[in-house]
Amino acid sequence: MNKSYHNQINQKNFQIPTTQTQLKKKLKKIFKMQVNSNNVTYENGFIQASYQYKSSNVEKLENGTLKVTPKTTEYTFKTNTKVPKLGIMLVGWGGNNGTTFTAGLLANKMKLSWFTKRGEQTANYYGSITQASTIKVGCSGSEEVYLPMNQVLPLVNPDDVVIGGWDISALNLSQAMKRAQVLEYNLIEKLDPYMRDMVPKKAIYYEDFIAANQKTRADNILEGHNKLEHLETIRKDIREFKAANNCDKVIVLWTANTERFCQLTPGVHDTAENVLKAIENSEAEISASTVYAVATILEGCSYINGSPQNTLVPGVIELAKQKDVFIVGDDFKSGQTKIKTSLVDFLVSAGIKPQSIVSYNHLGNNDGKNLSSEKQFKSKELSKKSCVDDITGSNKILYPETNKIDHEIVIKYVPYTGDSKKAMDEYLSEIFLGGQHTLVLYNVCEDSLLAAPIILDLILITELFERIEYKVDGMRTFQRFNRVLSTLGYLCKAPLTDENTPLVNSLYRQKSALDNIFKACAGLHADDNLLLEFKCPVTEE
């Protein structure tokens, strides 16, 4: 019972058969789906699928007319089906999210059950789209058929991952889990023998970037102020963790405290060369999260920013592209913002004009404590406020001149509430003939229990995209998706894009895009929900 979780993880063998027939049988066993199409092949450990992507180019003419030209582009997607042994390193491993995530993986791996006042509970992955959501794959007669997301394409099994990371607190994961006060006591008792041997590595601590009230926790930090030395230490930690656990790859995710925004400075943050030079010079406006991101990228590992600060500055984005590494951000989209980006989409799509959104939160966990500092709150406020701008901006009938609305965010730290976050939202909208529509919501949730499954999804889907390549008509070789992985925007409050990619915050559009990319790579058509085979059935003349 006292063996560490690291030593409990055994990678299942995944042997790629030599023939296409054998591979089809193997994949059918794993995914319970075999695509019967001349556009899909299963060869040499890859699924290769041809896909016709249909879009429209719009030309704005001088007289105000829009000239719309439909366009079809032939894509070929190639997905490596060999699932790697994956190492996960969390920055802030000993926090509420990190301990809850680790405990959740352990509880599911060991199929634990425990008692609460509501009776016996069993481990599950509710809240994870990769483990607990489905994708429509077609129709069987009049029945629509759905398949779990993790059976459409080959994802890493959460049972097989290895976990490590850093934290400014020296508590082992069992002590940190108890401090977090998220999980039921009976579950904590069962997990304690496995988590007490997990101890975070020393973390970078730049106290100017996080709230002063975090200083009492900071007893496990890298010494000094030499940011280049800190960078090299983090790189060494990643290499040693990967080697010690015999991992094929490592993904690093920031789930530590929200930092204040760094002040973007020309010559410091604007290019990859300048960011590296600024770290070497220990520039004051280089944050700890940026050092982690750069260290991760230089080690060839994907980096995910789960907090709202501007970690992924232009120079870091440029470096990721240079090193062919994926970056994902920003800020987990867990509860209130998910609802907001679906509700505003609903209102605007219905021709109703939102004019005011006021969002109030109070919580008592360490995240709330950190956000009680004004500079750190401003980082969170920006990510929460910007999440509806593209939705309102899509309708020039409702917003002919400006799409800005009265949008206020309030976050209060109330220690007694613990990890149970209370969120209240008021939506005021204009309706027919000058009328008003008021919608008020009250949402209560365990903050970390919503965030932990999102952490899992971000990591597993990012890893999958590391195994997907594409080729378009005219391209001689396959290449990877845009290194700024905006496809994962469904899981982020403030989706990171590059300058050439439209920003999408609509929850429906984000999820639809993600599902359809899975389907395209598997050799299925995108789902447009027309259901023409039923609404316009083909009949004999």
Asked if residue 354 and residue 326 are part of one domain, the reply reads no
Asked if residue 342 and residue 433 are part of one domain, the reply reads yes
∠ at Cα 167 (163, 169), nearest 5°? Answer: 130
Structural domain count of the chain: 2
Is 177 part of any domain?
A: yes
Three-class secondary structure assignment of 450-494: HHHHHHHHHHHHHHHHCCEEEEECCCCCCECCCCECHHHHHHECC
Given the residues 202, 227, 493, 519, the one annotated as active site: 493
Is 23 part of any domain?
A: no
Structure tokens at 47: 């699924």
Environment class of residue 389 by beta-carbon count within 10 Å: exposed (0-12), middle (13-18) or buried (19+)? middle
**pLDDT higher than 60, residue 2:** no
Query: Which residue range is the domain that position 356 belongs to?
Result: 336-446
pLDDT tens readout for residues 380-432: 566 566 788 889 989 999 999 888 899 988 888 888 888 778 889 999 999 99
- The CATH number of whichever domain residue 189 belongs to comes to 3.40.50.720
Asked if residue 356 and residue 326 are part of one domain, the reply reads no
To the query of whether residue 159 is one of the catalytic residues in this protein, the response is: no
Q: What is the mean pLDDT of the chain?
A: 89
Name the residue among 387, 102, 366, 184 with its Cα closest to residue 257: 366
pLDDT tens readout for residues 110-130: 999 999 999 999 999 999 999
Given the residues 85, 333, 380, 384, the one annotated as active site: 380
Given the residues 421, 425, 515, 519, the one annotated as active site: 421
Mean pLDDT of 284-299: 97
pLDDT band at 4 (very low <50, low <70, confident <90, very high): very low
Mean pLDDT of 280-293: 97
Is 79 part of any domain?
A: no
Asked if residue 324 and residue 181 are part of one domain, the reply reads yes
pLDDT band at 474 (very low <50, low <70, confident <90, very high): confident
* Separation of alpha carbons 244 and 253, rounded Å: 19
Domain C-terminal end among 418, 446, 474: 446
Asked if residue 183 and residue 106 are part of one domain, the reply reads yes
Is 428 part of any domain?
A: yes
pLDDT tens readout for residues 21-30: 544 554 544 5
To the query of whether residue 380 is one of the catalytic residues in this protein, the response is: yes
Polymer length of the chain = 541
**pLDDT higher than 50, residue 13:** no
Domain C-terminal end among 446, 464, 497: 446
Asked if residue 419 and residue 345 are part of one domain, the reply reads yes
Asked if residue 327 and residue 194 are part of one domain, the reply reads yes
pLDDT at 375: 64
Is 495 part of any domain?
A: yes
Structure tokens at 291: 């050092």
Structure tokens at 538: 């083909």
**pLDDT higher than 60, residue 239:** yes
Is 405 part of any domain?
A: yes
pLDDT band at 232 (very low <50, low <70, confident <90, very high): very high
Mean pLDDT of 45-73: 93
Asked if residue 426 and residue 360 are part of one domain, the reply reads yes
To the query of whether residue 338 is one of the catalytic residues in this protein, the response is: no
Could you tell me what percent of the chain has a pLDDT over 70? 90
Is 312 part of any domain?
A: yes
Is 49 part of any domain?
A: no
- The CATH number of whichever domain residue 442 belongs to comes to 3.30.360.10
Asked if residue 183 and residue 311 are part of one domain, the reply reads yes
To the query of whether residue 331 is one of the catalytic residues in this protein, the response is: yes
**pLDDT higher than 60, residue 152:** yes
pLDDT at 413: 86
Asked if residue 379 and residue 307 are part of one domain, the reply reads no
Asked if residue 305 and residue 271 are part of one domain, the reply reads yes
Structure tokens at 455: 């952490």
pLDDT tens readout for residues 475-499: 989 999 999 999 999 999 889 988 8
End-to-end, the C-alpha distance of the chain in Å comes to: 72
Comparison of pLDDT for 220 and 411, the residue scoring more: 220
**pLDDT higher than 60, residue 319:** yes
Q: Are 504 and 487 in contact (CB under 8 A)?
A: no
Q: Using a cut of 0.85, tell me whether the model's pTM lies above it.
A: yes
**pLDDT higher than 90, residue 376:** no
Amino acid at 5: Y
pLDDT tens readout for residues 429-461: 999 999 999 999 998 888 899 999 999 999 999
Given the residues 167, 237, 330, 331, the one annotated as active site: 331
Asked if residue 324 and residue 198 are part of one domain, the reply reads yes
Mean pLDDT of 285-290: 96
Q: Report the SS3 class of residue 57.
A: strand
